Amino acid sequence: MPKPEIHVFICNQTRPDGHPRGSCGASGAGQITQMFSEEVAKRNLFTQVAVTVTGCLGPCDCGPNVLVYPGSYLYIRVKPEDVNRIVEQHIMGGEPVQELLAPAELW
């Protein structure tokens, strides 16, 4: 695999039901991961973008969380309808989707 220009980390941490911190896995992270992988494939970005499942990124009650490097941009509460926009606007266009980013007190 060539060295990616952009790395997308998607938290898939799962905790037991009722855990006080919640978890990205319980918030739909699996679907978000699949959608990012499909968007990268559809746009033939395999050599530029790596999509990686990861454990906890911190703000568990704000999941699913998606971290994009370079730049350390943390997207919170990512919904399926947000994935295409993050890929188009941020990953391909270089402009982070401001309204989906974690506030400074979280990240």
Q: Distance between CA 37 and CA 19 in Å, rounded?
A: 29
Handedness of CA 64, 104, 92, 70 (dihedral sign): negative
Q: Name the pTM for this structure.
A: 0.94
Handedness of CA 42, 24, 107, 51 (dihedral sign): negative
pLDDT tens, residue by residue, 42-91: 999 999 999 999 999 999 889 999 999 999 999 999 999 999 999 999 99
Assign domain 6-100 to its CATH architecture: 3-Layer(aba) Sandwich (3.40)
Straight-line distance from the first to the last Cα atom of the chain, in angstroms, rounded to the nearest whole number: 30
Q: Distance between CA 16 and CA 58 in Å, rounded?
A: 17
pLDDT tens, residue by residue, 13-33: 998 888 888 899 999 999 999
pLDDT band at 100 (very low <50, low <70, confident <90, very high): very high
